Amino acid sequence: MKHSRNRTVKGRSTQGSSSRLSKLLAYAPIALQVIGLLRRGRKVKRGKYVKARKRDRALDFLLGQAERRLGGGKRSR
């Protein structure tokens, strides 16, 4: 009878990494809400007709995508 050999790494368990992922997914919507509030605050300070920097536009785009993927609101037109 052959025994299967399983490699185990000390100090690491599969349950630990899955619990970290579940914590991350639990806190991600809250973090996105806070970051979104900060970004909207900056947008108001900047003014309505001032064009945002390329970096700011990219960050706003990524933030909007992440909010929609994690159950954010609908797009307003």
* Rounded distance between C-alpha atoms, residue 73 and residue 76, angstroms: 9
Q: Is residue 6 part of a domain?
A: no
User: What letter does residue 47 receive in the DSSP assignment?
Assistant: -
Tens digits of residue pLDDT in 14-50: 556 778 888 887 888 888 888 888 888 877 777 778 8
In 26-75, beta strands by DSSP E? none
pTM flag (> 0.85): no
| pLDDT per residue as tens digits for the range 41-58 | 877 777 778 888 898 888
HSE-up of residue 12 (Cα within 13 Å, Cβ side) = 4
Q: Which domain holds residue 57?
A: 14-69
> Is 77 a member of any domain?
no
Is residue 38 in a domain? yes
